[in-house]
Amino acid sequence: MADIYRESPLKSIGWEDFVGLPLEEKGRYFLRDGRPYHVLIAQQFERPTLERLCETATRTRRIAKTRGGIRFLQDLLFDKRAMLYFAQPSTRTFLSFYSACQIIGIKPAEVRDASTSSEVKGESPEDTVRTFSSYFDMIIMRHPVGGFAERIAWLLSNTERPVPVINAGSGRDQHPTQALLDIYTLLRSFEDKGGMEGKKIAFVGDLARGRTVRSLAYLVALYPGVKQYFVAPEPLQIRGDILQMLDKRGVAYELTRDFERIIPEVDAIYMTRIQDEWDTADESRSIDTTPFHLRVEHLRKLKPTAIIMHPLPRRKEIAPEIDSDPRAMYWRQVRNGMWIRVALILYIFARESEIDRYYEDLIS
């Protein structure tokens, strides 16, 4: 097993120099031995790693179908402990990581409310997280401050006890593991429909402040020939940095308010809720978002092969009656999330080849 505590490239760069780097250049600082060590931004992933993670996730869930397989998985990382530090509300992502840890034998612990930690005694969040690294082998964190997980990863990499940091949602900027489960869902859904090539994907809702779309737009851009549609009211439209990234990569895209028009055209609709927790003066309330809701009558117009996605939680943007339509993928996304996180953690700890060995015995 590779030594997880070997030096991270983040040790070789000062914070000021690192933080100023373009996202696509930051990625290599999160690697160790060519594999993800810290998982902080979508831009650190390339297609071979994505596809390897998806394959590991699919093999692992096959293995978990037997009691013997479950026992084998339990043993893989039984010597590890993980801290789940969630300083922002979460149901799915928290439980997804918690369950993922349990499946492969990692013992999870949690701090979900900063008011119960020494931060109330005036301790800096940096010191709080550094304390975690004394007890745990991995930190999985969600934080309202964009870039905070990167800061922690840099800081820990420059201590005697670096541990991997996984970003489980940071501010309004990134949610890389949601993007992994979303791309896993897309790849699985299009597996027998000609793959990703030439597909049309619409992102709908609060694209200005939704971090899931910001991360996913990048991963989708790694697949040539995919057109991205950004469907939102003007004030909630996708930000320029994402469009610049798409321009740089030569990706086709369209910005529109006309949800009705694009429904029959697309192969995937990725719905999102209004992120009004970021409002400063209740400004979302004055925006009419009802034209950006997916309603039952839309289903007739949608291609029979198209899929409907949502990172959840939802509000009114998808009518609950749509849940039973075979094209609705959002509950499947939740399940895919747990397995892709299992795969990711195994990959970080360099144990994924053991999945291959067990799987090959299983199918032979």
- Determine whether 93 is an active site residue: yes
Q: Return the range that interacts with ligand NCD (CB under 6 A); candidates 26-34, 241-249, 305-313, 353-361.
A: 305-313
Six token digits for residue 79: 């010597």
- Determine whether 285 is an active site residue: no
Q: Return the range that interacts with ligand NCD (CB under 6 A); candidates 6-14, 69-77, 311-319, 353-361.
A: 311-319
Closest distance between ligand NCD and the C-beta of residue 89, in Å?
8
Closest distance between ligand NCD and the C-beta of residue 202, in Å?
17
Closer Cβ to ligand NCD, 225 or 313, answer by number = 313
Closer Cβ to ligand NCD, 47 or 315, answer by number = 315
- Determine whether 185 is an active site residue: no
Site size for ligand NCD (CB under 6 A)? 11
Kind of pairing, strands 138-143 and 107-111?
unpaired
Q: How far apart, in whole angstroms, are the C-alpha atoms of residue 60 and residue 54?
A: 10
Q: How far apart, in whole angstroms, are the C-alpha atoms of residue 317 and residue 296?
A: 11
Q: Return the range that interacts with ligand NCD (CB under 6 A); candidates 114-122, 217-225, 229-237, 307-315.
A: 307-315
SS3 66: coil
CB burial of residue 112 (10 Å; 0-12, 13-18, 19+):
middle
Q: Per-residue x/- marks for ligand NCD, 190-229, CB under 6 A?
A: ---------------------xx-----------------
Indicate whether 167 belongs to the interface with ligand NCD (CB under 6 A): no
SS3 78: coil
Catalytic residue among 92, 107, 227, 293: 92
Indicate whether 93 belongs to the interface with ligand NCD (CB under 6 A): yes
Length of the chain equals: 364
Rg from Cα positions in the chain: 20
DSSP H helical segments within the chain, as ranges?
15-19, 23-26, 47-63, 67-76, 92-103, 125-135, 148-157, 176-190, 211-221, 240-248, 259-262, 330-348, 352-363
- Determine whether 121 is an active site residue: yes
Do the beta carbons of residue 193 and residue 200 sit within 8 Å?
no
Among 312, 318, 322, 348, binds ligand NCD (CB under 6 A): 312
CB burial of residue 147 (10 Å; 0-12, 13-18, 19+):
middle
Q: Per-residue x/- marks for ligand NCD, 231-270, CB under 6 A?
A: ----------------------------------------
Residues 319-348 that bind ligand NCD (CB under 6 A): none
Catalytic residue among 56, 58, 60, 93: 93
Closest distance between ligand NCD and the C-beta of residue 312, in Å?
5
Among 32, 59, 61, 175, binds ligand NCD (CB under 6 A): 175
Looking up tokens 């192969």 gives 267
Q: How far apart, in whole angstroms, are the C-alpha atoms of residue 338 and residue 108?
A: 14
Q: Point out the residue whose Cβ comes nearest to ligand NCD.
A: 311
Q: How far apart, in whole angstroms, are the C-alpha atoms of residue 357 and residue 338?
A: 21
Closer Cβ to ligand NCD, 199 or 211, answer by number = 211
Closest distance between ligand NCD and the C-beta of residue 325, in Å?
21
Q: How far apart, in whole angstroms, are the C-alpha atoms of residue 172 and residue 214?
A: 9
SS3 12: helix
Indicate whether 311 belongs to the interface with ligand NCD (CB under 6 A): yes
Residues 54-83 that bind ligand NCD (CB under 6 A): none
Q: What does 276-314 look like in DSSP terms, one character per residue?
A: GGG-SSSGGGGS--GGG-B-GGGGGTS-TT-EEE--S--
Closer Cβ to ligand NCD, 93 or 189, answer by number = 93
- Determine whether 293 is an active site residue: no
Residues within the interface to ligand NCD (CB under 6 A) = 92-93, 169, 175, 178, 211-212, 273, 311-313
Positions marked catalytic: 92-93, 121, 142, 175
